[in-house]
A and B are shown apart, each in its own frame.
Chain A
Amino acid sequence: SYDLTQPPSVSVSPGQTARITCSGDALPKKYAYWYQQKSGQAPVLVIFEDNKRPSGIPERFSGSSSGTMATLTISGAQVEDEADYYCYSTDSSGNHRGVFGGGTKLTVL
């Protein structure tokens, strides 16, 4: 089965830049999506197709992808950005099956 690998945790101080990585063999051919999930809430899409930001998502959220790694960057992280973040992509074998990374707990303090 196809896997996406994320670091379990990232910690930054308010105002610093947080970077969360996601590695997967199919990422050179498939888009990465990023989701924010706060405690007790449903996930929210923050980045789609590697680097596009949905309307309503603050500009401090950005995405990039190079080779087998996608990166979510939060420039000037705020206390309210503290959450779990998940990357998502699809298997490159053409079967359209989705997969999530294991998630990264972002702590801002």
Chain B
Amino acid sequence: QVQLVESGGGVVQPGRSLRLSCAVFGFTFSSHGMHWVRQAPGKGLEWVAVIWYDGSEKYYADSVKGRFTISRDNSKNTLYLQMNSLRAEDTAVYYCARDPGYSSSGPEYWGQGTLVTVSS
């Protein structure tokens, strides 16, 4: 069945970088767009970024544009989120999610999330 497993979260100091990974199983990764969504402690969901099935198009929320980069390796069935210049307000559980289509319809299947804490 469809499975998404995030990793790479942890505690990081403000201004530093972190890379999240999302390994997928049970479907043809190269046929689906992929999203990152985050949720700060006690807050609602915030869409972060999307990448199309072949990596040709990428879109970002204004809050992370210029600091975060979404990418994928279809040969490894893995999605990435490179997070630079981290701020306290980036503290959140980060979820990866599959899009039902090639591009950007909406998150469909979700992983269980990985917690990123930005603190000195």
Listed in ascending order, the chain A residues whose CB lies under 8 Å from chain B are 1, 31, 33, 35, 37, 42-45, 48-49, 54, 84, 86, 88-90, 95-103
Contacts and interface: CB of A to CB of B under 8 A. Distances in A.
Nearest to B63: A1
B104 to A, nearest CB: 4
B77 interface: no
19 contacts: A33-B106, A42-B111, A45-B109, A48-B106, A48-B108, A54-B108, A88-B47, A96-B50, A96-B57, A96-B103, A96-B104, A97-B50, A97-B60, A97-B61, A98-B59, A100-B37, A100-B44, A100-B45, A103-B44
B55 interface: no
B106 A103 contact: no
Interface of B: 35, 37, 44-47, 50, 57, 59-62, 95, 100, 103-113
B47 A100 contact: yes
Contact of A86 (B44, B60, B103, B113): B44
Given A88-B47, A103-B44, A98 B106 contact: yes
Contact of A43 (B59, B100, B103, B110): B110
A33 B111 contact: no
B59 A97 contact: yes
A45 B108 contact: yes
Given A95-B59, A97-B59, A102 B110 contact: no
A42 B60 CA distance: 21
B47 A97 contact: yes
